[in-house]
Structure 1
Amino acid sequence: MLLLSSLFVLGFELELKGYFRTRPKLFSNLTVVEMQGVDTLIGYIDSRSMTNFSLGTDNLKLKGRIDLLDNVVWGFNAKGAADSALAETVSVNDIVGKDIPPLKVKRLYLEARTPIGLFMLGFVPSHWGLGMSVNSGDGVYDDFGDTFARFLFATKPFGEDSKIITALFFDKAVEGTVLQQGAGDLLDADTDDIGFAVLYDDEAYKGGAYSTMRSQWATNSRAFFISLYSELTPRKFYFGTEIAGLFGSFTPYKDQTISINSLGAVGRVGYNFSRFFPILELGYASPPSADNEFDLDTNRRGTKINAFTFDPNYRPALLLFQFVGGKKFPQPSQKGYTDVLESRRVWNAFYSKLSFTVKTERVFVIPSLLLALDSQKWKFLGFEPDFEIRNYLLKERGKDAQHNLFLSLRLGYLFVGERLKELERPGEQFTKKSNVFGVVGLVAYEF
């Protein structure tokens, strides 16, 4: 307390923004097939508190993000029924049984504004475009968030009043172990990114490019990523696009080189009536290939390069590509627990989504319809109607931020296609597919 008081006397300001949320969830038939004699109904509640903080002056700040009880499941205990019926100790676990530290510092970085531009150093959040590929995950519905060990310099090269922003950055992706490859040989398996971004930022138009080159010199590996993005709002119309590509090569052995080229894209078009906002969205992730994958560092999470996948925070539907279908987003799990609830991401798919947002001062109603196909064989994955109602119970304006208390209820019903069943349950051609139902509630306080 004495330290904080001294900092405030010196002119330092402390800003806090974030949320606390609790989500009851209920799912039926996430296995997508009929299970004889098995109850496929799954229900649980989780909670999370996320706080972004900023400490410093106008030109020099220490920023970070702290998660408290990061998606901890109510009453969950890895020992299950072995606990006494009246146990008073609350377990701190997630849904797959992994222990969660009650406090996580996920981001911490220094931000300095100088006459020549902005410098950022440390564990830095990143978000680009529509969030299809790079997503900071700061929303109240999000579970993840892209954070990089990064040094960044950003500036306005054409003057302070210019709408063009450029950024150059270096990311340390993996500090690889030093391996002995041969007699007396050392292999330093570091993986690094060098990136560049340019953005035109205006009220009516935003757009630009974001690119990185990932390299691992020890294995002669390269992976180049580029994303082109634009958002246009003429009058009441809305147009948004993001197109990204991943290209590269990997040399696991001197006489073998594996190449990769994959694409992803999202396009949106809508019209904003006074209280009604319809929007059509199309998404595409190119299909995988067994000869088109490589890993920049053996068994190291975050370095594997394969067919194009969306960011796990980009969720076009409640069920499909979040709890069913798509690419699994790996999480450590304990023996004896199913991976059926592991998070997913858009992968190997083409989808179209039509949504309608009806809004009043305190209530939002959002029905939507999603149709998805496999992008490899162009077979039917599924059709999902969703419905969400969001009610702001309290909306109060504080000194520096809006304080909101709101409820949300989301319902989804996924009509499972035969191709989705083939991908989820390979080798089970004699089982019958079963549709999936889900309900997710939300009580949240934003500050």
Structure 2
Amino acid sequence: MRYQRSSALFTEAKKYIPGGVNSPVRAFKAVGGEPIFIKHAKGAYLTDEDDNEYIDYIASWGPLLFGHAYAPVLNAVIEKAKKGTSFGIPTEIETKLAQLAVKMVPNIDKIRFVNSGTEACMSAVRLARGYTGRDKIIKFAGCYHGHSDSFLIQAGSGAVTFGSPNSPGVTQGTAKDTLLANYNDLAGVKQLVAANKGEIAAIILEPVAGNMGCIIPKDDFIHGLRELCTQEGILLLFDEVMTGFRLAAGGAQEALGIDADIVMFGKVIGGGLPVGAFAARAEIMAHLAPEGPVYQAGTLSGNPLAMSAGLAMLTEIDEKPEVFTSLAAKTEYLHKGIESVLTKRGITHQINRFGSMISVHFCDQPVTDFASSALGNNDRFKAYFHGLLDQGVYLPPSAFESYFLNDAISYQDLDKTIEAVEKCKL
């Protein structure tokens, strides 16, 4: 592959944009080398500024279930744009999308649209605190809920200690109200709850994690969290920015058979445009302004372009539920193919998969949380990433990210990917 134009564009971008990118993972710091710059995309394929073509396994980090430039979504946005791009005034399409989302997702009565997953998670935590009258939250190491201050917290020195900021600009005052637990460790969560009795407003997690690779919750963990929250008057928050409308029409709640108290969405609900949302039962959402005292606002919230894209995407999902069967089958095929190649080559690995999310870890122990994910051989992952990139396969440029398949990917594309793994120097 030739990356001359991408390299030149990256050099120019660094003059005006911090690190040359507008989101850190794009800079290829975790894998080395320089990022590619995309010129256009269609279906399963990306084309970069050097006219190299790639099979895309990130799907804009999840939302593009049917592939890039999907006609129903594209046409909806084009037609809506002709009528104006933003008003800061209510539109009918906001209600239409809300009606459809409430119909598709279990255990929600009302939904509030915002502009990003970060904003959705930040607002949901504020709502949980306002509803419960409590200040503290529990989050899990390796789960990412955006860059709001409350979520940029690292582990303390013991299971019941407060967290501390892991980014300059986050205050100790903010950090003291965020407690950190280990994913899939119910006993640790119970210990935190017991040590902070009556003080915890919410437990927030990715129900199927995607930011430390694809990590699947153990049954006793996820069901235990629901039971614990009910017993202790704590709200259970599902960050479904990645999993919502991807793992099932009703998201992870449907796929796992668990009802959360507040659910946060992003990505898919806007058909790939900038959008987020949070939703809950009516009695919880009644605490949100202008009905209640918990304030949240945004000029671009519910903007007509994002709403039109979201309505088109959710309509397609609602009318074509077979997409989930197709995506799961393709992901299983990829899993078995990569596993067969790596096993045959004698390369130590673990593969995690749930629905259309999958990740490959170069380690010899099951990957069930952030600590076990961090044991992977990062040098081997770098070779794997660049080896596939040079053969026209674009993976997440980090060992700590899930892949997201789109249904435009063909079995021929999957076979090409598996062959690329076989040729890769690892």
Measured against the shorter chain, the TM-score band is under 0.3
User: Which structure has more RCO (C-alpha within 8 Å, separation ≥ 6)?
Assistant: 2
- TM-score normalised by length of structure 1: 0.27
Higher strand fraction (1 or 2): 1
Specify the structure having the higher radius of gyration (Cα).
1
